[in-house]
């Protein structure tokens, strides 16, 4: 028996990076895409504006894909944890 479960540790580091750093990064990509300036919209945002939507249609689509991917990943991850945490009852 080993004192340290390397497989579990490795999984926590890799999945932790994907979920804990990757998903927020994807959120940042979404924010960035959302803020792309659009041609149809008059540019009113100044340097100190906190406006998030730039009005670029492609940007908005990319942002929507990013945000939906995050939600899907969270849903899938939570489902996996549920599966792991509810093993079939051990027979006596």
Contact residues: other proteins, CB under 8 A: 1-5, 8-9, 11-13, 15-17, 19-21, 23-25, 27-29, 31-32, 34-35, 45, 47-52, 70, 74, 77-78, 80-82, 84-87, 89-90, 92
Instruction: Report which of 63, 66, 46, 47 is spatially closest to residue 55, judged by C-alpha positions.
Output: 63
Taking the mean position of all CA atoms in its chain, how far away is CA 46?
A: 29
Which residues, 6 or more positions from 47, have their beta carbon under 8 angstroms from its beta carbon?
A: none
CB nearer to other proteins: give 39 or 85.
Answer: 85
Please say whether the dihedral angle defined by the alpha carbons of residues 22, 24, 30 and 35, taken in this order, is positive or negative. negative
Least Å distance, CB 57 to other proteins, is: 18
Least Å distance, CB 40 to other proteins, is: 19
Least Å distance, CB 29 to other proteins, is: 6
CB nearer to other proteins: give 14 or 57.
Answer: 14
Least Å distance, CB 4 to other proteins, is: 5
Query: Please, is 38 exposed, middle or buried when counting C-beta atoms within 10 Å of its C-beta (0-12, 13-18, 19+)?
Result: middle
């Amino acid at each position: 028996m080993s004192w340290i479960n390397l497989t579990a540790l490795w999984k926590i580091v890799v999945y932790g990076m994907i979920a804990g750093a990757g998903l927020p990064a994807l959120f940042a990509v979404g924010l960035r895409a959302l803020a792309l300036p659009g041609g149809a919209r008059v540019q009113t945002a100044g340097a100190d504006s906190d406006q998030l939507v730039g009005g670029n249609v492609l940007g908005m689509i990319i942002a929507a894909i990013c945000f939906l991917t995050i939600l899907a990943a969270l849903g899938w991850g939570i489902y996996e944890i549920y599966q792991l945490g509810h093993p079939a009852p051990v027979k006596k």
